[in-house]
Structure 1
Amino acid sequence: MRILILGAGRIGTAVAHMMADAGDHRITLADRHFGHEASQLAPSIAQITADAGDPADLDRIMRDHDAVLAAGPYHLCPVIAEAAVRNSLHYFDLTEDVRSTRAVSVLAEGARTALVPQCGLAPGVVCVMAHGLAHGFDQVEAIRIRVGALPAHPTGPLGYAMTWSTAGVVNEYCNPCEAIWNGERREVLPLEGEETVILHGTTYEAFNTSGGLGMLADAFDGRIRTLDYKTLRYPGHRAIMKLLLEDLKLRDRRDLLEQVLEASVPTTDQDVVVLSVSVDGMVHGRLTRKSWTREVGARDVAGMHMSAIRLTTAAGVAAVIDMLAAGQLPQQGLVRHDHIDADTLLANRFGQHYA
């Protein structure tokens, strides 16, 4: 498959590296500017300068490609998806932004190609796993998803490091969160719903953040009592963020909050991604729970060192693109998480990074 990747950041370059190394996809990477990550890529990956926010530029670079991955800012996803439909390309993105996904879903109606939003980590792989676990139940009562992208060696009271987009973190901490509670679909406040979670011997705090459910709320609306997504952090993190966002009112100054976090919170490639998906429901008349948990650390992939969040996000979307190329997904219209078989995804050569 001839794949155009828009965005030469950490995720875009990781997907390009993984898929080019597999040897049976032709990869083109496009961005306005290319940094250090792009300089490490193999010569077989074409690099072209383009503006993903310019429809005319998108039409120019989409020629001679079969699929496009939007790996840049979430607000560009609808623009890129519209160009993909116009130029008959399959479309993939990584966004957790609810409005962007709704716009992509509308564009998918009647499209001659497949539009696959939210196919990274969360939303993405964890949503696929939730559907996979739910298949074995006569009646699903509750789905709980907990995800943490954390420093492997936490220091300081925040116990945090910037392992991915600062704008994405601020978005998750500030926007309303979708949930289903007592059978009713509703919006809940970010940073609320605090609970203690113990996974693999480590204690975390969990609280509401936005975007991680993807399209699960649509899929299970009217069919389930409880559905929620919460972020995992080391204890004490939430109280500090609540002080910044609410007491100091930085929720209303997101640009300033981004500047503060980027100036004071270090980045790291020594991270860990902690995943937990659990489903409760009835099986043959008995209340039953099925769970899927993973702890993925940073590692080298085909000669390139990747942080855990970079690896898990890139592996998720690479596996979905690979599955579509192999005819294992619908070839037109909106492709939802329930269209993606969990076992097939994990068995995929890219999905195996979750093993």
Structure 2
Amino acid sequence: MHRVTILGAGKIGSAIAKLLCLTNDYVVCVGDTDTQALDRLSASLPVTTITVDVTDEEAIAQKLAGEDCVVSACPYWANPGIARAAAKAGVNYFDLTEDVTTTDTVRNIAAKTIAATTSEPIVFAPQCGLAPGFINILAHHLCCLFDKLDEVKLRVGALPQYPTNRLMYNLTWSTKGLINEYCNPCDVIHEGNRIQAVPLEELEHFSVNGANYEAFNTSGGLGTLCETLEGKVRTLNYKTIRYQGHRDLMAFLLGDLRLSSRRDLLEEIFEYAIPTTKQDVVLSFCTVTGWKDGQFKQVSDARKIYPRHLDQEQLTAIQISTAASLCAVMDLYLDGEIPHRGFLKQEDISLDRFLANRFGRYYNDATGAENHVPDAA
């Protein structure tokens, strides 16, 4: 039995707890300051709960004594402190952050910890969700099918199935994280040069199975792929998928109304005015072009993930996709299938092993997913 502490009892943290508990292979503890959320979890799952302030590194380190792993399902700003607590406790660390600065901080913590440790090293695995996360594992796998790369394009969106407002959007995950992605610079590779692109720009339109979408630059989705593929590809970018018309309204709010400098106010407005939904869908699309055996080729992978019932509870598509990805990475690591210590890049994980994992299989069940891993033939 593996002992895991999950910090954060929100939508994603509770989904991670459920997936782990259903295996009967994990002893799960969930920590939060929200006692009502903890009570709901302990009433429905065989978990222990602790009330803990995620900004109190010493308290967290003490709570982690004897654990195998800690999972941060908290907002990105809490992750550096949790990573430092994991280092003090000698516990493997996993998170879901999309924030570039946070990931850099976790990398530095990992480097210092590995350099200073005299015991068995631990792993620091940020960005274990959907994007970054699964999409990076998938993209790197497709890249490895080619002798030489030209373009790598990643597109991901968590969308309402039935949009009714002018934004054509419902809140399905962290509002703070959403705004962060819309406002921060975007790492890309353009004409072979690693640069930072402007968020919300480079608008494009496309259709999948007859439905029309748009996509535009957002921050963080590439994870560490820019670093990994620098010097190997002409174009590499990540864009968020939305229904058409969303980008222009967001540009008005963030640009014309200058709410990019009032993020707390925008978060308050969104959570007041935009309803949440459990009727969502996650769409991922990755396409790679390059040369194989002297021929210029393209390989693509498109998937849709819908909500599903697990143990008499409906989990949303974003809960399933995010929680399953993190659980798969942690499960593979604890089973020795990711022989790694220190800072772990998502693209260092085998797609074949990920999809064969009991948690990763949720991506194989996705509507539109290939029954086999695409090849460049």
TM-score, shorter chain, exceeding 0.5: yes
Name the SS for the 1:219 alignment partner: helix
Q: What whole-Å deviation, never above 9, does each CA across 1:47-69 have from its counterpart, x for those lacking one?
A: 11111110121122101101100
Question: What is aligned with 2:368?
Answer: none
Name the SS for the 1:72 alignment partner: coil
Gaps of 5+ in 1: none
Select 2:68's aligned residue among 66, 69, 81: 66
Q: What whole-Å deviation, never above 9, does each CA across 1:263-290 have from its counterpart, x for those lacking one?
A: 1111000000000011111100111111
Residues 1:304 and 2:313 are matched in the alignment: yes
1:1-355 alignment to 2 at 5 Å? 1-36=2-37, 39-41=40-42, 42-109=44-111, 111=114, 112-355=121-364
Q: Distance in 2 between matches of 1:101 and 1:302?
A: 34
Q: What whole-Å deviation, never above 9, does each CA across 1:24-82 have from its counterpart, x for those lacking one?
A: 11111011113447514545211111111101211221011011001101111111111
Gaps of 5+ in 2: 115-120, 365-377
RMSD of aligned C-alpha atoms?
1.2
Q: TM-score, normalised by structure 1?
A: 0.98
Given that 2:18 and 2:45 are in contact with CA atoms closer than 8 Å, whether structure 1 keeps it comes out as: no
Name the SS for the 1:311 alignment partner: helix
Q: How many percent identity over aligned positions?
A: 42
Question: What is aligned with 2:367?
Answer: none
Q: Distance in 2 between matches of 1:74 and 1:67?
A: 18
Name the SS for the 2:260 alignment partner: helix
Q: Distance in 2 between matches of 1:38 and 1:270?
A: 25
Q: Distance in 1 between matches of 2:45 and 2:346?
A: 34
| Paired amino acid for 2:147 | D
Aligned length, in residue pairs: 355
Report deviation, 1:338.
2.4
| Paired amino acid for 1:91 | Y
Q: Distance in 2 between matches of 1:295 and 1:238?
A: 21
Report deviation, 1:156.
2.1
Q: What whole-Å deviation, never above 9, does each CA across 1:268-315 have from its counterpart, x for those lacking one?
A: 000000000111111001111111110011111232211111110000
Instruction: Give every structure 1 segment of 4 or more consecutive aligned residues whose post-TM-superposition deviation is greater than 4 Å.
Output: none
Report deviation, 1:328.
0.6
Given that 1:8 and 1:38 are in contact with CA atoms closer than 8 Å, whether structure 2 keeps it comes out as: no
Given that 2:72 and 2:96 are in contact with CA atoms closer than 8 Å, whether structure 1 keeps it comes out as: yes
